[in-house]
Chains A and B, each alone.
Chain A
């Protein structure tokens, strides 16, 4: 089955510091999505990446899809306390499979 590794599992930063989480796959992905889940909440869609080498930005968040479409990253510049939560990558394998298999997530805590 699809194997995806997300690192780090936990990240604690001081407010204002940058944060990056990585998602690595053993197989080529058709696309990848990122979600954020606040403590006690439900996952919320952030972005979808489809093209090789794609880079997308949402304010302080930068998402990248690797050239080989096997890895992706989410970078947050100058973290704020509102960034607290768990960030999940969810790659789609393609080939007719329409399910999303989520990584284990990176739990981000921000010290004010």
Chain B
């Protein structure tokens, strides 16, 4: 059973370009979370999605950032018109939520560098 797959692992963009980060959850998992991590800092919650639905996007910046988890295919975190402050590691996690908590399985992350 493959783990959470994220790609690309490393992405370099110039200011003003778009970044698209993909996440395929573990087989059978319908819950996907995106977290952002700056160097030497903690994990900041961005968004929580289930298939075709955004459940909680309270951690997402209001502008330039969007996320989706379509019925078919991976979850995508999209950052438009990137700025240098967007440089970070973006981790995706998936889980089987049971109502009493569910272990998060993290991907290896996508490291975005904005020049």
Contact = CB atoms under 8 A, between A and B. Distances in A.
Contacts of B56: 97-99
A43 interface: yes
Given A88-B42, A99-B48, A105-B42, A31 B33 contact: no
Nearest to A86: B42
Among B33, B91, B106, chain A packs the most CB atoms within 10 A around the CB of B106
Interface size class of B (residues with CB under 8 A): 20 to 34
B104 A100 contact: yes
Contact of A50 (B43, B55, B93, B101): B101
Most buried by A among B31, B101, B104, B105: B101
A30 B102 CA distance: 12
Interface residues of A, number: 25
A10 B73 CA distance: 40
A98 B45 CA distance: 12
Interface of A: 1, 30-31, 33, 35, 41-45, 48, 50, 88, 90, 92, 97-105, 107
21 contacts: A30-B101, A33-B104, A35-B104, A42-B109, A43-B43, A43-B91, A43-B104, A44-B106, A48-B101, A88-B42, A98-B55, A98-B102, A99-B56, A99-B58, A100-B45, A101-B45, A102-B35, A103-B42, A104-B42, A105-B43, A107-B40
Interface of B: 31, 33, 35, 40-45, 48, 55-56, 58, 91, 93, 97, 100-109
